[in-house]
Amino acid sequence: MGGYIIRRLLSLIPVLLVVAVVVFLIIHITPGNPAMIILGEGATPEQIEELNQKLGLDKPLIAQFFIWLANIAQGDFGDSYFLGKPVLIAFLENAGPTLSLAVLAQLIGVTIALLFGIVAAKNQGRMKDDLISGTSLIGISIPSFLLGSFLIMIFAVQLKVLPVSGYAPLSQGIWEHLKYLILPAITLGTIQAALITRMTRSSLLDTLSENFIKTAKAKGVSERAILLKHTLRVAFLPILTVIGESFAGLITGAAVTESLFNIPGLGQLIVASINRRDYAVIQGAVLMITVVYVLMNLLVDLLYAVIDPRVRNSYQA
Amino acid sequence: MKKTKYKWLSLLLVLFVIAGCSSNTGTTSSSSNTKDAVQDGGTLNIAFQSEPTTLDPQITGNSSVKDATRSIYEKLVILDDSGNVVPDLAEKIDLSDDKKVYTFQLRKGVKFHNGKEMTADDVEASINRWIKLSSLGKTNFIGAEVKKTDDYSVELHLKTPNVNTLALLADPIPAAAIMPKEIIEKAPDEGATEYVGTGPYKVKEWKQNQYLTLEKFADYSSEGRELKKESHVDEIKISFITDESTRISGLTTGQFDIALGISSDNAQQVEGAQTASIKKAPGGFLGLFYNSQKGFFKELNARKAVNAVINSEDILSSSYGSADFYELTSSIVNKQFPNYYSEAGSAEYNQHDPDKAKEYLKEAGYNGQEIKILTSRDYQDQYNTAVVVQQELEDIGVKVKLEVYDWATFGEKLTDTSSWDLYPVDWAARSTIFQGFWTSYGAPVEESTKYLDAIKASADVEDARPAIDAAQQYVWDTLPFTLIGHKVALNAVANKVEGYEFNLGPVFYNISLKNN
């Protein structure tokens, strides 16, 4: 099992290299130059050239790439042109809010999804099932800024029970911290729930039609036990994949929701950096996100092994 | 037939209707007509559109930096709301007969936020740095230097006289802010990292990506000055909220007392809630800039053709809606600033005459070439202008291609003058005619410089009037750009805020909060 993990971790390296090359090329080929943006309107070509030299942007592209790679290998992701601080620090500062938001949103999403998915599967073909299918269709289709604005309008503006926007770190108290995250978490969680519900429902239905379930029914096992103990455990594998992928998506920063609720997370950081052509941050952040994504996938695969002994054996091979 | 299916649909519809229709039946507190004495205390909460890139106002022209640093730093001189220069940290100003040496007597007993007293050493260091690093300094003060003559006086030596000198020193951004000598000496060119000024508020905390808090500076006094600055509120908290709807929701719920950057579409919504009102101010001008250096528009008749067909009303209303939110005026400087306001050349403004345009087009020798308009969707009004202008030109038989990019790319494309013919852009409101557009890409710099020099060489602002009119006339006769009109900047201010003023930007000192 340990060998399996090591092999997976080593496979990170080629993945990161490919991502590094692609992201570097794309942002450097895109028109627009950070020096022009830093200096603003009224900057003379000489000033821009001076700043370019200072930032090392006048060197040939290949040289810039290898310098950057060499620095990364030593753990130096460079400094942000705009924030005046190392990219790593900026990333970690912004990762906190996104992590909290992602965990909360995923909890909400998974809870709703499992509940709805089970009810839908149990009542297949009947009204409850149609209702749930319809609602999850709306959930998938609704844009996050629309749902978010809607929630702000009802809970923050009309009912005034929650703040409109902003963020308080955990250090200010758990309720303070959660207060600002509830609405954005519901926004993101609803969309997550919609995705996971459908997978839950179809996975459960597939498993329910298996022979061993028919045997259990014949044996007289209660409906509840069949659903929760026997079916869910087996059906959970594909659901787990969807959960893992959607969580990785949340971690990489839901830029629109973060900007709507003014949460200083990774999504906001990356979008702002792209607009400002802050190359160091964009490159560093994309690499770090790739690492998160790959590790997430590894985690899901390991959980598979925990849940399913058949998978455990195949890893040992 | 599953009729019960529709139960959930109707439930959802009801929810939408409730949320949508419930307008704020504001419990309108009858405003008491008794004049309350100014109340001290409280925190003023402001929502900015964007975060300042630095708190060093000497090195940048960014408007968020201007708005945030206005209460933190002071300058030798300051502009009143008509654009006249008034002494601030300087007590007395003298000008030599050859108009090349300004002598400033400094106020005594002015304290910096770190407790130190301001003296001539600090002024000398600060202004010399501003001359070296700021865009205004680099273009207008070439070869100039400030020298200390004793502890409370300095001399500014210019290479050539410039009637604008004091107005430039009073400009809110890049501001010739006075900082302690020790900080100036340590400050990197990219921006000081210690923020110490003499203003009524000092920096308490700057949480990047979230907020900036300023607190009252107890040792501040504007006693004896013409323009008073008072700190009534204890704290000013500026949050950076890029999404306009979030700024507005925050204003409506009382989370913010002031929300900057409201678009004309939302003005009614803010006024409707009755907890705040919209304050209007000159927002700068929208112009269509020609490539006078290369291509079709090198020819004057070509520029006259476009100028003749433009319908300013159509363009401005497409972006700003009602006439409350724009101004049809042929003057570069808004009439709020009478020193530089000029109606010269107004006959050429907003002609919307397609026939005349077609004639000019023929004289210019147009033979079907494609005209490229460069624009960016990041600024909706600029984009709308490009679209309307494209329509107006196509109506007189010109082939037009719109090239739309994001702002960063747009800026880069502009530097290649062989790749575009026209671009719309707006410039911030200023109290003088001196701004960066005279030297932007594609502009006829050599031609325009002599008009600007004529203004600078005048004895004083009144004497400069003929030169100012001549410069404005030149703009309409030779068309380096076509002025389309002025925008109105909209900011939302809650009813409990008293003493709010706008002078080339929102002013946060002198504000007090009513608690009813």
**B253, A167: Cβ pair inside 8 Å?**
no
Give dist(CA B480, CA B492) in Å, integer: 35
What angle (nearest 5°) sits at the alpha carbon of residue B268, between those of residues B263 and B274?
Answer: 120
Residue with tokens 């409906």: A223
Roughly what angle, to the nearest 10 degrees, separates helices B300-309 and B380-395? 100
Whether the CB of A277 is below 8 Å from some CB of chain B: the reply is yes
**B241, A275: Cβ pair inside 8 Å?**
no
Q: Which residues of A touch B61 (CB under 8 A)?
A: 40-42
Pairing of strands B101-106, B90-95: antiparallel
pLDDT of amino acid A43: 67
Question: What residue ranges of chain B have pLDDT lower than 70?
Answer: 1-37, 516
Question: Nearest by CB to B413, which of A31, A37, A45?
Answer: A31
Whether the CB of A82 is below 8 Å from some CB of chain B: the reply is yes
Whether the CB of B5 is below 8 Å from some CB of chain A: the reply is yes
Pairing of strands B235-240, B211-216: antiparallel
Give residue B36's identity as a one-letter amino acid code.
D
Confidence check: pLDDT of A132 > 60: yes
Residue with tokens 């923020």: B195
Identify the sign of the CA torsion B127, B103, B80, B458.
negative
**A130, B406: Cβ pair inside 8 Å?**
no
Report the half-sphere exposure of B133 (CA within 13 A, side-chain side).
Answer: 26
Task: Tell me the shortest Cα–Cα distance from A78 to chain B, in angstroms.
Answer: 17
Best mutation target among B249, B413, B438 (most A Cβ atoms within 10 Å) is: B249
Give dist(CA A211, CA A40) in Å, integer: 69
Cβ contact B412:B403 at 8 Å: no
Give the long-range contacts of residues A11-19, CB within 8 A, separation 24 or more.
Answer: A11/A294, A12/A291, A12/A294, A15/A290, A15/A294, A16/A287, A16/A290, A16/A291, A19/A286, A19/A287, A19/A290
Question: Nearest by CB to A40, which of B60, B210, B252?
Answer: B60
Tell me the Ramachandran region of residue B479: left when phi exceeds 0, alpha when psi lies from -120 to 50, beta otherwise: left
What angle (nearest 5°) sits at the alpha carbon of residue B299, between those of residues B297 and B301?
Answer: 100
Give dist(CA B135, CA A172) in Å, integer: 42
Whether the CB of B239 is below 8 Å from some CB of chain A: the reply is yes
Give dist(CA B219, CA B111) in Å, integer: 7
pLDDT of amino acid A29: 85
**B255, A165: Cβ pair inside 8 Å?**
yes
SS3 B77: strand
Per-residue DSSP letter, B96: -
pLDDT of amino acid A56: 82
Task: Tell me the shortest Cα–Cα distance from A65 to chain B, in angstroms.
Answer: 22
Question: Nearest by CB to B250, which of A31, A40, A164?
Answer: A164
How many Cβ contacts (< 8 angstroms) between chains A and B? 106
Question: Nearest by CB to A157, which of B243, B252, B413?
Answer: B252
Task: Tell me the shortest Cα–Cα distance from A195 to chain B, in angstroms.
Answer: 20
Question: Nearest by CB to A264, which of B61, B209, B408?
Answer: B209
Task: Tell me the shortest Cα–Cα distance from A250 to chain B, in angstroms.
Answer: 20
Give dist(CA B166, CA A128) in Å, integer: 76
Whether the CB of A94 is below 8 Å from some CB of chain B: the reply is yes
Whether the CB of A309 is below 8 Å from some CB of chain B: the reply is no
Closest CA to B514 of B485, B492, B483, B493: B493
Question: Nearest by CB to A164, which of B191, B210, B249?
Answer: B249
Whether the CB of A74 is below 8 Å from some CB of chain B: the reply is no
Q: Which residues of A touch B406 (CB under 8 A)?
A: 32, 275
Task: Tell me the shortest Cα–Cα distance from A298 to chain B, in angstroms.
Answer: 32
Report the pLDDT averaged over residues A249-256: 78
Tell me the Ramachandran region of residue B442: left when phi exceeds 0, alpha when psi lies from -120 to 50, beta otherwise: left
Q: In chain B, what is the straight-line distance between the N-terminal and C-terminal CA atoms, in Å?
A: 59
DSSP code per residue over A64-90: HHHHHHHHHHTT---B-TTTSSBHHHH
Give dist(CA B211, CA B209) in Å, integer: 7
Determine the residue of chain B that is closest to A125 in CA distance: B2
Tell me the sheet residues that pair with A86: A79
3-state secondary structure B163-175: CCHHHHHCCCCCC
Q: What is the pLDDT of residues A140-150, one digit of tens each?
A: 898 888 999 99
Percent of chain A with pLDDT over 90: 13
Of all helices (H) and strands (E), which one includes residue A48? helix A45-55
A61 pLDDT band, cuts 50/70/90, is confident
Whether the CB of B19 is below 8 Å from some CB of chain A: the reply is yes
Pairing of strands B43-48, B235-240: parallel
Whether the CB of A41 is below 8 Å from some CB of chain B: the reply is yes
SS3 A205: helix
List Cα–Cα distances, A188 to A257, A264, B130, B244, in angstroms: 8, 16, 47, 20
Best mutation target among B171, B205, B245 (most A Cβ atoms within 10 Å) is: B245
Determine the residue of chain B that is closest to A132 in CA distance: B8
Question: Nearest by CB to B249, which of A84, A152, A268?
Answer: A152
Whether the CB of B406 is below 8 Å from some CB of chain A: the reply is yes
DSSP code per residue over A211-278: HHHHHHHHHT--HHHIIIIIIHHHHHHHHHHHHHHHHHHHHT--HHHHHHHT--SHHHHHHHHHHHT-
pLDDT of amino acid B30: 40
Whether the CB of B61 is below 8 Å from some CB of chain A: the reply is yes
Give dist(CA B68, CA B507) in Å, integer: 9
pLDDT of amino acid A40: 65
SS3 B402: strand
Task: Tell me the shortest Cα–Cα distance from A12 to chain B, in angstroms.
Answer: 31
SS3 B336: coil
Residue with tokens 């900026």: A90
Whether the CB of A38 is below 8 Å from some CB of chain B: the reply is yes
**A165, B253: Cβ pair inside 8 Å?**
no
Q: Which residues of A touch B22 (CB under 8 A)?
A: 158
Task: Tell me the shortest Cα–Cα distance from B211 to chain A, in angstroms.
Answer: 10
Question: Nearest by CB to B4, which of A40, A127, A157?
Answer: A127
Determine the residue of chain A that is closest to B3 in CA distance: A127
Whether the CB of B436 is below 8 Å from some CB of chain A: the reply is yes
Give residue A214's identity as a one-letter amino acid code.
K
Q: What tokens appear for B194 in the block?
A: 């210690």
Closest CA to B303 of B34, B483, B492: B483
Of all helices (H) and strands (E), which one includes residue A21? helix A12-29
Whether the CB of A49 is below 8 Å from some CB of chain B: the reply is no
List Cα–Cα distances, A145 to A142, A151, B380, in angstroms: 9, 10, 19
Give dist(CA B125, CA B181) in Å, integer: 6
Q: What ipTM describes this predicted complex?
A: 0.71
Whether the CB of A268 is below 8 Å from some CB of chain B: the reply is yes
Whether the CB of B189 is below 8 Å from some CB of chain A: the reply is no
pTM summary value: 0.80
Whether the CB of A250 is below 8 Å from some CB of chain B: the reply is no
Question: Nearest by CB to A164, which of B242, B255, B408?
Answer: B255
Cβ contact B420:B373 at 8 Å: yes
Q: Which residues of A touch B209 (CB under 8 A)?
A: 93-94, 264, 268-269
pLDDT of amino acid B195: 95
Exposure string over B86-95, b if 16+ CB within 10 A, otherwise e: ebbbbbebeb
